[in-house]
Amino acid sequence: MNIGQVSDASGLPAKTIRYYEDIELVRPARGANGYRDFSERDVHKLAFLARARSLGFSIEECRTLLSLYEDRDRASADVKQVATEHLDRIARKIEELEAMRGSLQTLVTRCHGDDRPDCPILDDLAGEKTATA
Amino acid sequence: MNIGQVSDASGLPAKTIRYYEDIELVRPARGANGYRDFSERDVHKLAFLARARSLGFSIEECRTLLSLYEDRDRASADVKQVATEHLDRIARKIEELEAMRGSLQTLVTRCHGDDRPDCPILDDLAGEKTATA
DNA sequence: ATTGACCCTCCAGCAGCTGGAAGCCCTATA
DNA sequence: TATAGGGCTTCCAGCTGCTGGAGGGTCAAT
């Protein structure tokens, strides 16, 4: 299977697939013409990676998950730990973004947004005390 | 004012301040010894940047905000627009992360996490149909 | 004079791709 | 058989926003 078809099948851009080969997440065979020749197994791996990436796992986590996936003697606890840590990171990130959203929302609401220069958003950024009312 | 003091005053690492000079967000003067010599105005700018960055604005947005800040004839509508677009981006990012969290949470809950190999998380990543029950 | 804390520049690297150049290969059609 | 197009190859550079480190100058105090 050529890279273009694999790209279609896995949803990953060809460039990304080459990159994944580069960092040794996948090791496709090569045809006589030098083209990559992907097996079903390779395609399956790439789909696995695409899904894991879409859930936000880092490349290194993907590597770990993939090796656990291929290890018949794995303990599900190991998988769960990777996922749980990632879940915590996501939760922290959401909190961080919600804090930003809160502050920004307040400022945006207070800014009348017309052609005059006075602006609570800039006042806040400049560290000026802003009226709470 | 030397970079170390400015770092303390603005909360930005010295490295970051040098970087900001590099990309021309600030243009401190130079002393005879080659040291950067920051004015009050520079320090103020850097504090502005630190605050804007902490609200998640990109460097280029910061540049825009800074120039609006320094423009006495600005329209607050322009500021508001930058902030509103950023707010939308944050909201979209939060949604994305919440979707990830939702999926992951389900999988983690379903995984018993013991020393046996069967694992709904890996099943999902591998694209296998998982039991909904 | 020496010590130690500060400052300088420049280069490299992080994540995870993505774009582009230069060039080979394969297939179909005229 | 020549040619046109698409797909494939490699390699290098660049994106964001810093951060670390090497190698070296400067300053203030002892």
Cβ-based contacts of A107 with chain B (< 8 Å):
83
pLDDT at A65 over 60: yes
- What would the mean pLDDT of B12-16 be, rounded to a whole number? 97
Query: Would you list the DSSP string of A17-40?
Result: HHHHHHTTS---EE-TTS-EE--H
Select from B55, B56, B115 the Cβ nearest to the Cβ of A77: B115
Mutate to test the interface with A, among B73, B79, B95 (most CBs of A within 10 A): B79
B126 with A44: CB under 8 angstroms?
A: yes
A133 with B122: CB under 8 angstroms?
A: no
Give the C-alpha distances (Å, rounded to integers) separating B130 from A40, A47, B110, B120, B124. 21, 16, 10, 7, 7
State the nearest residue by CA to the C1' of C18.
Answer: A15
Whether nucleic acid strand C comes within 7 Å of the CB of A32, the answer is yes
Query: How many angstroms separate the CA atoms of A70 and A50, rounded?
Result: 16
Whether nucleic acid strand C comes within 7 Å of the CB of A19, the answer is yes
The residue that leads in pLDDT, A56 or B129, is: A56
Q: What is the pLDDT of residue B131?
A: 60
Per-residue pLDDT tens digits for B47-94: 999 999 999 999 999 999 999 999 999 999 999 999 999 999 999 999
Segment among A12-16, A98-102, B13-17, B128-132 with least mean pLDDT: B128-132
Per-residue pLDDT tens digits for B109-125: 999 999 999 999 999 99
Closest among B51, B85, B78 to B64, alpha carbons compared? B78
User: What is the distance in angstroms measured between the alpha-carbon CA of B14 and the sugar C1' of D21?
Assistant: 15
Q: What is the pLDDT of residue A129?
A: 72
Per-residue pLDDT tens digits for B36-47: 999 999 999 999
Nearest nucleotide to B19 (CA to C1') is D18
Q: What is the pLDDT of residue A132?
A: 58
Q: What is the pLDDT of residue A131?
A: 61
Select from B75, B100, B105 the Cβ nearest to the Cβ of A116: B75
In strand C, the nucleotides that come within 7 Å of a protein beta carbon are 6-9, 15-19, 25-26
pLDDT at B30 over 70: yes
Taking the whole predicted model, whether its pTM rises above 0.85 is answered as yes
pLDDT at A26 over 80: yes
Whether nucleic acid strand C comes within 7 Å of the CB of A59, the answer is yes
| B105 residue type, one letter | Q
pLDDT at A19 over 90: yes
Contact status of A102 with chain B (Cβ, < 8 Å): no
Contact status of B67 with chain A (Cβ, < 8 Å): no
Q: Report the sign of the C-alpha dihedral through residues B86, B92, B93, B98, in that order.
A: positive
